[in-house]
Amino acid sequence: LVTHEDFEDIAQRTPGLDIGRVEVLSLFHPDKFDATNPSEQFPGVVTVLVIPQQGIEAPDPPVPDRLFLDAVCRWLDPRRLITTELHIRGPQYVPIWVSIAVTTMPGEVRSLVHKRVREAIRAYLSPLVGGVPMLNEDGEMAGSGWPLGMEIRRQDLEAVAVRVDGVRYVTGIKLGIQSPAGAMNDVAEKQIVGLQLPWLS
């Protein structure tokens, strides 16, 4: 195990596990990461983020349990360079709330359009199929999971909603996050750092 591709390929082939996503972060220490200094590097450290495969309709976020993480660790550990400090982790989910008001095209069933908007926003924020759609190897446009370090922006959510079939335009949008005190705040964007990923609550 030397390159990012080595780690990703071998981790994906961990026996007995259905892994939906692997991210490799070199020089990143999950226990020493400081959000106020996100560019700090830790020589010799490699962190592998793993997420179990899960359907997009699941009500809870895909979280690897201890047995899952241990299996990946046992599979990768004997293959690493002796000088590599290896960490296997799952994501840290950041709960967010989105409220979108739309005007539908004439003749459309509003409840169906609203359902399509909800599905589109959930897919866009998904840790497994979210993010900006790219052309995949099957020639289809699809995301590969919300990118690490990419902020969530109201404007992007609006752009996703307005592309949904049956939507004429968006009349209002709110992006909610929970403050440390437990209050709900409406924000224009939410920064995502370290091993954080959004989860639509």
pLDDT 10s digits, 14-34: 999 999 999 999 999 999 999
- pLDDT computed for residue 169 by the predictor: 96
Task: Give Cα 3 distance to the centre of its chain.
Answer: 22
- pLDDT computed for residue 136 by the predictor: 63
- pLDDT computed for residue 71 by the predictor: 97
Count, in order, helices (H) and strands (E) of the chain: 4, 11
Residue 166 corresponds to which tokens in the numbers above?
């049956």
Local mean pLDDT, 10-residue blocks, the chain (201 residues): 86 95 95 91 96 92 97 95 94 95 96 96 94 69 85 96 96 91 89 95 86
pLDDT tens per residue, range 124-160: 999 999 987 765 666 665 678 999 999 999 999 999 9
Cβ pair 100, 117 in contact under 8 A:
yes
Nearest-CA neighbor of 17 among 84, 90, 79?
90
* Residue 132 vs residues 5, 35, 120, 136: alpha-carbon distances, Å: 21, 24, 12, 12
Coil, helix or strand at residue 5 = helix
Distance in angstroms (rounded) separating the CA atoms of residues 65 and 68:
5
